[in-house]
Amino acid sequence: MLVLVRKSVPLRLLSRRPLNPFFLPPRSCPRRLPLLPRAAMGSVPGDGARLAYPPARRDDSVVDNYHGVQIPDPYRWLEDPDSEETKEFVARQAELAEEVLAGCPDRENLRREVTRLFDHPRYGAPFRRGNKYFYFHNSGLQAQSVLYMQDDLDGTAEVLLDPNTLSKDGTVALSTYSISEDGNYIAYGLSESGSDWVSIHVMNVTNKQPMPDKLSWVKFSSISWTHDGKGFFYSRYPAPREGGELDAGTETNINLNHQIYYHVLGSNQSEDVLCWKDPEHPKYSFGASVTEDGKYIILGIYEGCDPVNKLYYCEISSLPQGIEGFRERKEMLPFVKLIDNFDAQYQVVANDGDEFTFLTNKSAPKNKLVRVNIKNPEQWTDVLPEHENDVLESADAINNNQLLVCYMSDVKHILQIRDLRTGNFIHQLPLEIGSVSEISCRREDKEVFISFTSFLSPGIIYRCNLAPTIPEMKVFREVSVPGFDRTSFQAKQVFVPSKDGTKIPMFVMSKKDINLDGSHPTLLYGYGGFNISLTPSFSVGRVVLCKNMGFVVCVANIRGGGEYGEEWHKAGALAMKQNCFDDFAACAEFLISNGYTSSKRLCIEGGSNGGLLIAASINQRPDLFGCALAHVGVMDMLRFHKFTIGHAWTTDYGCSDKEEEFQWLIKYSPLHNVRRPWEQSSGNHCQYPATMLLTADHDDRVVPLHSLKLLATLQHVLCTGAEDSPQTNPIIGRIDRKSGHGAGRPTQKLIDEAADRYSFMAKMLGAVWTE
């Protein structure tokens, strides 16, 4: 889902967009790339001896009938996170993983160096509310970033909200927030242990005193204040379980019946005004926002994760007793249906009274801007037509009558100033090759703050003055990382032909002037789904790999993402999902054939939908990789829709309840396609690469059962259930505690996980540490 009304909302990178409940030679040529001899296929076999894997009970009586096809599910019992048997399985797997990791020689070297480079000040772009400025800051190793405020940009900053004081281990995180229009109050959402569940609290900004307000069971919600400062809109689900204690985030109950409420400041949640629900469509989700002029409430309705939505509006002045009057009437707000189908996305950019400007992909897969009078919606006009090649990622009204538009051109961002009324080009802002990670602006302001990052730039915040005829761009803050000299590294983009000839962009980062002799340990990262683009960003962990272990680090922009618009997304979704795996394999083969690495020195990594990518890739091409790191992946493609918010992903994957879509899913579902490669090939030396599946006990986005069931299956099929198995490469699971899908993870947990997964990878690939 996408936020409909943007007010200083950052452009989100990777899989973390607002309100998105999900959450990485061509065969058409005359010849295939040559493979290594059979004896060298697979990957370097760790210590050459098989691990002693803990036993896991198989229940062969569990068999499901999918449209006449019998599908066994012997580890169904792992779907119950509260059973003692599941807890014992998790404990034994954690012991095994720690045993393997303890034998990785560079674990402490990585932990020490990642910690050293992580210890640098980081800032968010400042934004204004009322007569104050606000910004986030982390001094370096703080578990969570702190929200500061100041009277002006040169004034003394004081702490407004420090999440680090809310828990000893840093696992309480600030997940969402909104400051009232007058700057007097902040409503903020806290999540615990990485769960998607949020509790909303309120603080008086002037005296920093907490208000008694507490709102529970909030999930996939923004917070939007009415301009009178009396209250705000938010979204919630019914409590997942009635009675008894619940460790929120560990349950797997399906999330149904999302609702929009209005909370009046100082009141009890039980008195909140129910503004919208749709019990006839329990899987729909909703977001409500107040327009920048404060006159309208915009309701977005979503049926999944596709960039499409219905859009309704309600004029606040048309409510004679205000929003609070609906508390007693037991009626929902009288929203007017402007868009009542799921044909396209509509995102509010600006409005002048009844005249609205929207960003939409209606008949424009790379997006465009349109304008309509919502009281007379018959006539829609194009303001900024779709670009032939570049994707229009965002548009913000600034300087009263101008637009700041962000295009993505071959996975790199471009910023332009345009006229709001006509869409005409005015200026292009100077940027290096990289990503715009945050834009902070308001229509009334003559300045905008822009955060920029790239593979070799830790972060720059620009302050752009729009008052002069030619905008003035100055560096407001620049992040400096100790021990990192960008002149020692290089980052370039290549285009790789996939199986069907489609050119796939891939970024390649390494030390300068490396010899392409096939010797370099290499990490290939991918995602490929949900219209999410992997744009250049700075990573301390990846810098350490390049600097101290000679790695080449690559990011593949495979189909399924949003790098080239909705057509690129759809080319890697539903019946076309196999394109994602083919694209990724083509990028791996390119790295081998062009002398960067070899199969035994190549590791692949991805998270969430990217975890699915990694698991499907090792099933389909175990010969191609030396190591695999699959984070919080969707592994059971036949049952994912039955847990928490999984039903929202059917827009990208399909659903096994439908026969045609079952046939798509069964062909690549990681859980259902584990095979013994030595039985599939003429030789007997091919095995699965060394594999680490990573999950967390409070991941209520992609629940841990996905990784646990696949872990048990891999270990049984490849190791414990096979006589004379050649599978000596380890198959382990790293199961974190008091963590979720990834958002809000404290700094120390980020460092510890990087040390664990990369030391495992380094040992499996034979990489050597150098100071």
DSSP state of 717: I
The rounded Cα 606 to chain-centroid distance in angstroms is 11
Q: Who's near 83: CB < 8 A, 6+ residues apart?
A: 77
Give the active site residue among 569, 706, 716, 741.
Answer: 741
DSSP state of 242: S
CB 710 within 8 A of CB 670: yes
Place of tokens 């939908």: 609
The tokens describing 640, both together, are: 């994912």
Q: 466-471 — which CB contacts under 8 Å span 24+ positions? A: 466/398, 466/399, 466/402, 466/417, 467/399, 470/427, 471/417, 471/427, 471/429
Q: Helices 84-102 and 705-715, interaxial angle, to 10°? A: 70
Q: Who's near 171: CB < 8 A, 6+ residues apart?
A: 143, 192, 193, 194, 738, 739, 744, 746, 749
CB 142 within 8 A of CB 747: yes
Q: Who's near 639: CB < 8 A, 6+ residues apart?
A: 73, 656
Distances (CA, A) of 575 to 169, 321, 513, 666: 44, 51, 42, 11
Q: Who's near 133: CB < 8 A, 6+ residues apart?
A: 126, 127, 149, 150, 151, 152, 153
The tokens describing 188, both together, are: 């903020």
**Gap between the Cα atoms of 178 and 147, Å rounded:** 12
Give the active site residue among 608, 656, 669, 759.
Answer: 608
At 509 the three-state DSSP class reads strand
Q: Which residues pair with 371 in a beta bridge?
A: 357, 381
Q: What are phi and psi of 671, to 5 degrees?
A: -65, -30
**Gap between the Cα atoms of 408 and 435, Å rounded:** 9
Is 278 designated active site? no
Amino acid of residue 218? V
Instruction: Kindly give the pairing relationship between strand 690-696 and strand 627-631.
Output: parallel
CB 99 within 8 A of CB 751: no
Is 617 designated active site? no
CB 425 within 8 A of CB 416: yes
**Gap between the Cα atoms of 238 and 219, Å rounded:** 10
Compute the CA torsion angle 605, 106, 544, 754 (nearest 10 deg).
50
Q: Who's near 207: CB < 8 A, 6+ residues apart?
A: none
Is 413 designated active site? no
CB 589 within 8 A of CB 35: no
Q: Give which of 175, 193, 196, 172 is closest to 252, Cα–Cα.
A: 196
Rg for the chain (alpha carbons), in Å?
A: 26
Q: Give which of 451, 454, 440, 449 is closest to 412, Cα–Cα.
A: 454
CB 561 within 8 A of CB 527: yes
The rounded Cα 640 to chain-centroid distance in angstroms is 18
Q: Give which of 766, 765, 751, 767 is closest to 108, Cα–Cα.
A: 751
CB 499 within 8 A of CB 29: no
CB 75 within 8 A of CB 708: yes
Give the active site residue among 699, 700, 736, 756.
Answer: 699
Amino acid of residue 283? K
Place of tokens 């606040």: 316
The tokens describing 207, both together, are: 């005296």
Amino acid of residue 518? G
Amino acid of residue 558? I
Which residues are part of the catalytic machinery? 608, 699, 741
